[in-house]
Amino acid sequence: MACTVKRAFRYRFYPTGEQAAELLRTFGCVRLVYNRALEERTRAWYGEQRRVTYAESSAALTAWKKTGELAFLNEVSSVPLQQALRHLQTAFTNFFAGRARYPRFKSRKKSRQSAEYTRSAFKCRDGELTLAKMPGALDIVWSRPLPAGSEPSTVTVSRDAAGRWFVSILCEDRVTGPAPAERAVGVDAGLTSLVTLSTGEKVANPRYERRDRRRLARAQKDLARKVKGSANRDKARRKVARIHARIADRRRDHLHKLSTRLVHENQVVVIEDLGVRNMVKNRSLARAISDVAWRELRSMLECKAGWYGRELVVIDRWFPSSKLCSECGTVAGELPLGAREWRCRCGAVHDRDVNAARNLLAAGLAVSACGDGVRPQRESSRTGRSSVKQETQRSTAGLLRL
């Protein structure tokens, strides 16, 4: 099976001094336009209860360019500035729809530096990419070719905290999925093992952050000793950023390989909906939970399942997968986090993670077949309501079919 999807191809490039100066100037203008427009929208909303449209923000941008204070906005390409307003419009649309928080202002030090160019502001031909108002083509390391015959729709240039430059080219790609698979797998995420499969296989947690923890601590200590605003402090900051980038790159590479393997080998992949935001509030486990990047793995599975025609089923986070006996269906009582094995009243001895993965698989297959949740009813309810009603509401609200 083949389908056409939009994919972003990311490459590293090395700008000349003149190109770097132009891009940094563009980043600053994009950030200024975004913050100014956000300030105007915030003032209109809280002062007048009025929503500012994209057309009004675009007209305001034209007026800003005609003032002496902001006349320098004319020196960079107008397309990234318009794209910044479109991104702000999307942010407010998601906010008013309840899908995101209120947009925040961009910071030069903390926010990602980037600029987006549409088709009218770049030229991609014969292996060369040239941006509007940019002297010469970018020196890109083409680590993999773009899809044959594809026409890029947008180009995003960015610079990370480590000082590396990247260009992301969005274009349509024809994806040929793997052969249909009859297998289904339940995936239980953990800390000791990154994931445990319902087949009994355990994928070890690489713990990339722990491997570089000593080097990172030394670099952070050196950074803390530097005088603020000095050139040495900037060098020390980049050294810390390079270590973080090394950790993130290795983690992302491992998750890509794992997610690709799971999607290629199975027609149905069942995972659990984890409340990572609340889980990282545990001070003892916050660093370990952040290192495994469960949310990033889920995002990769969602994308690749859609590309290759697989089914990803997400089970409610309140489903007692660890305490439910996969043999007789009995729900155990209290099960401490340190108990990695437990014995059911029926005599079955369970590995905590393997048992959870098998229960997730059974619940996921029920969702895939019936479109409804399967959860055992507990005898008591902490809310005082009927346990049957409570379980039904949670099952209906929490089981997603992607």
For residues 26 and 92, give the distance between their C-alpha atoms in angstroms, rounded to a whole number: 23
- Catalytic option among 22, 116, 209, 272: 272
- Residue 188 annotated in active site: yes
For residues 241 and 163, give the distance between their C-alpha atoms in angstroms, rounded to a whole number: 8
* Beta strands 268-272 and 311-315, pairing class: parallel
Which residues in 298-394 belong to E strands, given as ranges? 311-315, 341-343, 349-351
| Tokens representing residue 40 in the block | 């105007």
For residues 57 and 346, give the distance between their C-alpha atoms in angstroms, rounded to a whole number: 67
- Catalytic option among 22, 116, 291, 353: 353
- Residue 173 annotated in active site: no
For residues 250 and 243, give the distance between their C-alpha atoms in angstroms, rounded to a whole number: 11
Residue 52 CB: number of other CB atoms within 10 A?
20
- Residue 126 annotated in active site: no
Residue 305 contacts residue 402 (beta carbons within 8 Å): yes
Residue 293 CB burial class (10 angstroms; 0-12, 13-18, ≥19)? buried
- Catalytic option among 22, 116, 188, 316: 188
Cα 242 → chain centroid: 20
| Tokens representing residue 249 in the block | 């790159």
- Element housing 86 (H / E): helix 78-96
Residues annotated as catalytic are: 188, 272, 353
